């Protein structure tokens, strides 16, 4: 909506506010930077229970391709080539030991959580179009975090529950948000 306002497609006196509760990480670090910039002034909130696994999802892998173009790690190959022979061989070997497993994991993410998951969804929703993936699995939170702090009452109540979404429930968030008001 912000960009629609900038393009003149919406009135410029609209104030955009976003409130998310228990939201997963929405995009990569550059998405988060852009979101933070366009919501500067505190109009983007993400309410989080630190015991809820959903806001911690999806899990992330940062590869060299996830850095900005000016980051020296992004241009490490060029820097390594400029080193003298014995150092260059040693640095290249260490660098590749760090880079290759990350790149391999990123390809597996694309394969299983991208293409295969998309095909699975498409088998149930024939009109679903599998999106073009960015090739980045470096997910980041966006918006001002409001962290709801679990207390002993919360732990006593939720320790008895053993289901996957026990800390993601509306009831749990409602209790923790009520505690927040009292501070």
| Number of domains composing the chain | 2
Task: Identify the domain containing residue 84 by its residue range.
Answer: 70-136
* pLDDT at residue 125 tops 80: yes
What pLDDT sits at residue 147? 93
CA distances to 5, 78, 91 from 96, in Å: 45, 14, 8
Cβ atoms of 18 and 44 within 8 Å: the answer is yes
Are 75 and 120 in the same domain? yes
Beta carbons within 10 angstroms of residue 52's beta carbon: 21
Are 76 and 123 in the same domain? yes
pLDDT tens for 57-68 read: 888 888 888 888
Is residue 4 domain-resident? no
Is residue 7 domain-resident? no
Kindly give, in sequence order, each residue whose CB lies less than 8 Å from that of residue 167, ignoring residues fewer than 6 positions away. 49, 51, 52, 53, 158
> Which burial class, exposed, middle or buried, applies to 86 when counting CB atoms under 10 A from its CB (0-12, 13-18, 19+)?
exposed
Cβ atoms of 47 and 163 within 8 Å: the answer is no
Are 150 and 119 in the same domain? no
Tell which wins on pLDDT, 85 or 181: 85
Beta carbons within 10 angstroms of residue 6's beta carbon: 11
* pLDDT at residue 143 tops 90: no
Q: Take residue 124 and report the two structure tokens written for it.
A: 């149930």
């Amino acid at each position: 909506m912000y960009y629609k306002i900038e393009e003149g497609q919406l009135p410029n006196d609209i104030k955009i506010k976003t409130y998310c509760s228990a939201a997963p990480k929405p995009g990569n670090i550059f998405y988060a930077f852009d979101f933070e910039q366009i919501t500067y002034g505190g109009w983007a909130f993400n309410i989080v229970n630190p015991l809820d696994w959903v806001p911690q999802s999806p899990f992330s892998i940062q590869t060299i391709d996830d850095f900005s173009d000016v980051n020296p790690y992004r241009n490490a190959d060029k820097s390594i080539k400029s080193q003298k022979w014995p150092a260059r061989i040693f640095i290249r070997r260490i660098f590749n030991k760090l880079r290759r497993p990350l790149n391999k994991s990123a390809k597996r993410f694309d394969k299983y959580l991208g293409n295969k998951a998309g095909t699975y969804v498409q088998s149930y929703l024939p009109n679903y179009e599998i999106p073009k993936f960015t090739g980045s699995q470096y997910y980041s939170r966006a918006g001002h975090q409001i962290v709801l702090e679990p207390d002993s009452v919360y732990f006593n109540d939720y320790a008895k529950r053993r289901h996957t979404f026990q800390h993601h429930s509306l009831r749990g968030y409602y209790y923790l948000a009520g505690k927040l008001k009292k501070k």
